[in-house]
């Protein structure tokens, strides 16, 4: 969080096109699912950058509005970038609870990314199991056996996935791959990491996105 949008960069945005407002498309930073569309004026953008909570200008309320101010379902800012015309913002954020007022993750019911979003939900469930250790849970048993045992299980699942790829049908391969993904998530969590950390490395290897704007510390 070492990059802040300077006053000059804020001035360079195309505020004059839409009466001082810029549409802001909000995307889940972990699974890339589109969550909602809002509008920001200069003050809302500056509040977003300084507070780390995504904030809009509400056209109906005629005031600045922080998503989650009443529900507690805040959007934690990760990154902001503009389009080529500098008249639209893409906001990457991590949601705390559902974004839509209907209780859905996204205001767009069929927005792509729902299946990828489940991986994020599963990671949250695994993290909860690691914290609470409920009795009788398979995941709890894995955590209590320790990193070495979990790593061994990941190795076994990796071998089984490879064998299924060369000797079994698609259903078997997909089933083994699912087992591998689950146990890999448990292993990462046992080390204090998450699947998003691995995804971030993949993104860095693929090529860094062009310069965006992170919240100021």
Does 1 map to a domain?
A: no
pLDDT at 30 over 80: no
The tally of domains found in the chain comes to 2
SS3 of 80-111 = EEECCCCCCEEEEEEECCCCCCCCCCCCCCCC
Q: Domain limits at 140? A: 114-205
pLDDT in tens, 188-197: 999 999 888 8
Residues 181 and 101 in one domain: no
Q: CA-CA distances (angstroms) from residue 11 to 8, 14, 81, 143, 195?
A: 5, 8, 15, 51, 37
Please state, in angstroms and rounded to a whole number, the distance separating the CA atoms of residues 132 and 165.
36
31 plus 96 within the same structural domain: yes
Which of 111, 140, 156 represents a domain boundary (last residue)? 111
Q: Please identify, among 93, 111, 129, the residue that sits at the C-terminal boundary of a domain.
A: 111
- For residues 118-142, average pLDDT: 90
Task: Please state the rounded mean pLDDT for residues 51-67.
Answer: 94
Reference 44, options 30, 17, 62, 27; nearest CA is 62
In the predicted model, what is the mean pLDDT of residues 27-56? 92
Q: How far apart are CA 94 and CA 105, in angstroms?
A: 11
């Amino acid at each position: 969080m070492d990059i802040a949008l300077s006053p000059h960069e804020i001035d360079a945005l195309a505020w004059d096109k839409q009466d001082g407002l810029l549409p802001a498309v909000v995307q889940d930073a972990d699974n890339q699912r589109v969550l909602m569309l809002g509008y920001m004026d200069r003050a809302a953008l500056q509040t977003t950058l300084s507070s780390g909570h995504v904030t809009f200008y509400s056209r109906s309320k005629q005031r600045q509005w922080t998503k989650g101010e009443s529900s507690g379902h805040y959007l934690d800012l990760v990154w902001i970038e503009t389009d080529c015309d500098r008249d639209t913002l893409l906001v990457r954020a991590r949601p705390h609870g559902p974004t839509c007022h209907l209780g859905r993750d996204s205001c767009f019911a069929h927005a792509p990314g729902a299946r990828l979003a489940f991986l994020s939900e599963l990671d949250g469930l695994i993290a909860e199991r690691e914290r609470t250790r409920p009795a009788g849970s398979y995941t709890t048993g894995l955590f209590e056996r320790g990193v070495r045992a979990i790593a061994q299980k990941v190795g076994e699942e990796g071998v089984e996935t490879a064998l299924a790829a060369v000797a079994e049908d698609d259903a078997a391969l997909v089933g083994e791959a699912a087992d591998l993904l689950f146990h890999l998530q448990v292993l990462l969590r046992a080390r204090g990491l998450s699947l998003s950390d691995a995804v971030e490395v993949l993104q860095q290897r693929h090529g860094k996105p062009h310069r965006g704007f992170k919240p100021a510390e």
